Amino acid sequence: MNKKVFVFFPDGVGLRNFAFTNFKNIGEQMGFDITYWNNTIFSLKDNLGFKEVKIENNQINPLTPLYTRARKHVELNVSEKKFSDSVYPTYKFPFNYKGLKNTLKSLYTKILIAQYNSEKGIERIRKKINTLERKNPKYAYCKAQLEAQKPDLIFCTTQRATQSISALLAAKDLGIPTIAFVYSWDNVPKAMQVVETDYYFVWSEHMKREVLQYYPFVKENQVFVTGTPQFEPHFDKSLIKSRETFFVEQNLDPNKKYICFSGDDETTSPLDQYYLEDLAKAVRGLNFRGENIGIIYRKCPVDFTTRYDKVVSDYKDVITKIDPIWKQIGSQWNQILPAKEDFEMLVNVCYHSEMVTNVCSSTVFDFVAHNKPCIYYNYEQPQLKKGIRDIGQNYKYVHFRSMPTKDAAVFCEDKTQLETIVKSVLAGKVSNVSVGKDWFKIIAGETPSESSKKIWENIKTLLNE
């Protein structure tokens, strides 16, 4: 009989990797009986025709978010001390003291941090979170679903969602093996591991080393290197449209060479619109001197601010907007979900652009998969003032230390140099593609086109043990 695997979506972030790629088809071809255990408001049955079990109970214990936040702070405090590294405090978000309710929550969290502020404290706080979530009505609800459905294994699509804790505890208590997929390339050093599972699937050997370094309770035989389905579409030639078709669809000028400006979220790059303006000015300058260049502005999917509107309007002679195909189906950031068509859109933006420019985004890897260079902005804007986060701190983060050399991206350290750098990259005189490919391999593993297959092969191995 085929083994029954629950692919668990505690929130919408995993949809892109595990519902909109060939992940399910590959698993079914290998003989798995796949059901999506769905905690999101996106219906996989109605939208995609997938077999699903909906989790209608979205309760978490009211104290869990406070304990989880305290745990993250304590883990970062421990890392700062353990590795003598001042980068870890920069991962912390400031406390909210607006209004009585937020003030009380912040003060309570600070008390918890003081109480549990050690490696032993991390163990105690994790146990406390588990105790709270076993008392949560969602635990009994999920346990009943699992007893009725009897899956052989649960594959959780992200390690960082508090919504998954009670569900995975229910599985553990029923003796059902659990796997957590480490969702993003920067998650491990940032103390974003909320769940404890039997096994962890990671992108690369680099990420495996990180998991073992930061989480001593995880043993080496629990961590499997699989890659991530995130980059698989870039290797699917059937998604690429002809230049003529794509340019007509997106109202692009076939005589122009296009540079993609990939927007950031407001937290990462609060003054991002000014970098787009700098690029637009540089492009205008180059066009004045005989070049014929345009800009494709692809916004960050979870950015619904109006901060770019004026720049896009003022420079409409050079900027064309091509928005990601994402849909907001709820009020939270993780309820802004991608449409399947966005994979094809991103692939074609990468393929038909000459390069990408942005502030520290992982789109460097999307573009390097198509042999396209990336310029990283690394200078302050004059609008920077107290209370606004300087983008420079992004490049100090631990995940950027994985660069084999600084040539893994083309850094623009000075606004006045941007025009020259763009021209040099367009002319092929400057490029990060060669070193960027090495960096891509470090981050995404040796075989980024075969990640779904590797995940299912490892699931098969674990089920046969």
327 and 410 housed in the same domain: yes
For residues 436 and 424, give the distance between their C-alpha atoms in angstroms, rounded to a whole number.
Answer: 17
Residue 389, pLDDT score: 78
Residue 5, pLDDT score: 98
Picking from 104, 130, 156, the residue at the C-terminal end of a domain is: 130
Q: What is the pTM of this model?
A: 0.94
Q: What does the DSSP 8-state code read for residue 381?
A: -
For residues 321 and 327, give the distance between their C-alpha atoms in angstroms, rounded to a whole number.
Answer: 17
142 and 287 housed in the same domain: no
What average pLDDT does the chain have? 95
119 and 198 housed in the same domain: no
195 and 331 housed in the same domain: no
How confident is residue 448, by pLDDT bands cut at 50, 70 and 90? very high
Q: Tell whether the torsion through CA atoms of 363, 402, 228 and 243 is positive or negative.
A: positive
Say if residue 334's pLDDT is above 60: no
Say if residue 297's pLDDT is above 70: yes
Picking from 130, 155, 181, the residue at the C-terminal end of a domain is: 130
Residue 253, pLDDT score: 97
313 and 421 housed in the same domain: yes
pLDDT tens readout for residues 7-26 = 999 988 888 899 999 999 99
389 and 301 housed in the same domain: yes
Q: How far is CA 167 from the centre of its chain?
A: 22
| Residue 27 contacts residue 238 (beta carbons within 8 Å) | no
The candidate with the shortest Cα–Cα distance to 133, out of 105, 169, 102, 101, is 169
355 and 424 housed in the same domain: yes
Residue 326, pLDDT score: 79
For residues 301 and 327, give the distance between their C-alpha atoms in angstroms, rounded to a whole number.
Answer: 9
The candidate with the shortest Cα–Cα distance to 277, out of 261, 256, 293, is 261
pLDDT tens readout for residues 369-401 = 999 999 999 999 988 887 777 898 899 999 999
Residue 295, pLDDT score: 98
Lowest mean pLDDT among 65-69, 323-327, 431-435, 447-451: 323-327
Residue 331, pLDDT score: 61
What number is the average pLDDT over the span 67-79? 98
Residue 430, pLDDT score: 97
pLDDT tens readout for residues 243-289 = 999 999 999 999 999 999 999 999 899 999 999 999 999 999 999 99
283 and 348 housed in the same domain: yes
Length of the chain: 465
Share of the chain above pLDDT 90, in %: 88
422 and 291 housed in the same domain: yes
Provide, for the chain, the percentages of residues in helix, strand and coil under a 3-state DSSP scheme, each rounded to the nearest 5.
Answer: 50, 15, 35
453 and 439 housed in the same domain: no
Which residues neighbour 451 within 8 Å (Cβ) at sequence distance 6 or greater? 226, 227, 228, 229, 230, 231, 232, 444, 445
Residue 47, pLDDT score: 87
For residues 337 and 409, give the distance between their C-alpha atoms in angstroms, rounded to a whole number.
Answer: 29
Say if residue 71's pLDDT is above 80: yes
Say if residue 327's pLDDT is above 80: no
Domain containing residue 311: 234-444
Q: Tell whether the torsion through CA atoms of 368, 374, 364 and 329 is positive or negative.
A: negative
Q: Which residue has the tokens 């990462």?
A: 268
What number is the average pLDDT over the span 142-162? 97
Which structure tokens are listed for 148?
């009725």
- State how many domains the chain has: 3
State the DSSP H helix or E strand holding residue 8, giving kind and residue range, or none if neither.
Answer: strand 4-9
Residue 211, pLDDT score: 97
Taking each helix axis from N to C end, the angle separating 433-444 and 205-214, rounded to the nearest 10 degrees, works out to 50
Measure Cα distances from 345 to 221, 245, 264 in Å.
38, 12, 18
- State the number of CA atoms in the 13 A half-sphere of 46 facing the CB: 6
What number is the average pLDDT over the span 56-85? 96
220 and 250 housed in the same domain: no
Picking from 92, 109, 130, the residue at the C-terminal end of a domain is: 130
Q: How far is CA 352 from the centre of its chain?
A: 24
Residue 329, pLDDT score: 65
For residues 67 and 111, give the distance between their C-alpha atoms in angstroms, rounded to a whole number.
Answer: 10
For residues 10 and 65, give the distance between their C-alpha atoms in angstroms, rounded to a whole number.
Answer: 15
108 and 149 housed in the same domain: no
pLDDT tens readout for residues 85-138 = 999 999 998 999 999 999 999 999 999 999 999 999 999 999 999 999 999 999
Which CATH number goes with the domain that contains 151?
3.40.50.2000
